[in-house]
Amino acid sequence: MNSVKIFAGSASLYLAEKIAHSYGKPLGKHNIQIFSDGEMCPNYSESIRGADVFIVQSTFPPADNLMEVLLMIDAAKRASAGSVTVVMPYFGYARQDRKDKPRVAIGAKLVANLISAAGATRIMTCDLHAGQIQGFFDIPVDHLYATAIFIPYIESLKIDNLVFASPDVGGVARARSYAAQFHADMVVCDKHRKRANEIASMQVIGDVEGANVIIVDDLIDTAGTISKAAQVLLDNGALSVRAIATHPVLSGKAYENINNSPLLELAVMDTIPLKEQSDKIKVLSVAELFAKAIRKIHDQESISTLFV
C-alpha cells in the first residue's frame, strides 16, 4: 500500500501539525519560495512518488491561501504522487453557492473547478455552508461534520431544559439534527436583512421560556446575527444563551460584538485561527477527526463511523 505523506499549507500549519500528531507521523517537508513581488513557488523536499499525499489548507482570506493550495496540488501531481487529497477544513467562498441576484459569480463552483483542474483526486472538508456544494465537484468529497465533536462537548456541560436555536431559516436542518440527538425542542430566529451583514429585525419562532438555549451555526462572520439572536432569545424568556459554530471567520467588529453580547460562551473549531483571544470563546479541535478520516481513506475503509 502507498505511504501517507501529510503536508501543510502556510495558513493551516498550526492545524496540520495537530492532525499529523494525531495520525502518528511527522509532517512532510516542503518549501515555498516567495518572489519579491509575492509570487509563490512551492516544491517538495522529499520524494512523493506513488504516495498518498494529503495537503492541509483552509481557504480563508487572503486569496493567497487558495492560490497556494492550488500550486501545491499541481506540484504534487507533477511529482508523480499516487493520489492528492486536499484537506480543507474550511472551504472558502462557500456562501457564494447560488445565483441569488443578477450578474453575480457562483464562487463555490469556481473554487471547486479550480481544485479539480489543479489535479486533486479527492477533497475532505467540514461543515460546508451548503451541503449541495458537494455536487459542484467531479471528484470524491468527504464531508465531515463537527457534530462528532460538539455533541460530546455539549453533553459534558450537563445543561437542563435544553433548547436548540437556528439563527436563521437556512440553518433549521442543522439545529434540528442537534435537537433530535438530545431529544430537545428547537426554535428559529427569523431575521430580515436590509443588506449583507446588517440585520433590520428578528423574531423568535417557538417557545424558549425558562430554557437554556444553544444557538447552532456553521460559521460566524461579524457575529451580528448571533449577538442579536442571543438578546432576542433572552427577551423572550430564555434563562441562558450559548452558541456553537464550526468556522470562526470573525471579521470586522466580531470580537467586540461577542464580548458585548449576552452569550455565556461561543464554542468554535480550529478550522480557522483566532485573530484575538476572548474569555467567551472556547476552541475545540477537528485534528483528531481529520486524522481518523485520513487513516480510513488511506486504508480504503468507510468513514461513515465518524458521523454522529
Pairing of strands 122-126, 83-88: parallel
Mapped to the 3 state alphabet, what secondary structure does the chain carry?
CCCEEEEECHHHHHHHHHHHHHHCCCCCCEEEEECCCCCEEEEECCCCECCEEEEECCCCCCCHHHHHHHHHHHHHHHCCECEEEEEECCCCCCCCCCCCCCCCCCHHHHHHHHHHHHCCCEEEEECCCCHHHHHHCCCCEEEECCHHHHHHHHHHHCCCCEEEEECCHHHHHHHHHHHHHHCCEEEEEEEEEEECCEEEEEEEECCCCCCEEEEEEEEECCCHHHHHHHHHHHHCCCCEEEEEEEEECCCCCHHHHHHHCCCCCEEEECCCCCCCCCCCEEEECCHHHHHHHHHHHHCCCCCHHHCC
- Among the listed residues 5, 191, 228, 292, the single catalytic one is 191
Active site residue 191: yes
Catalytic residue IDs? 191
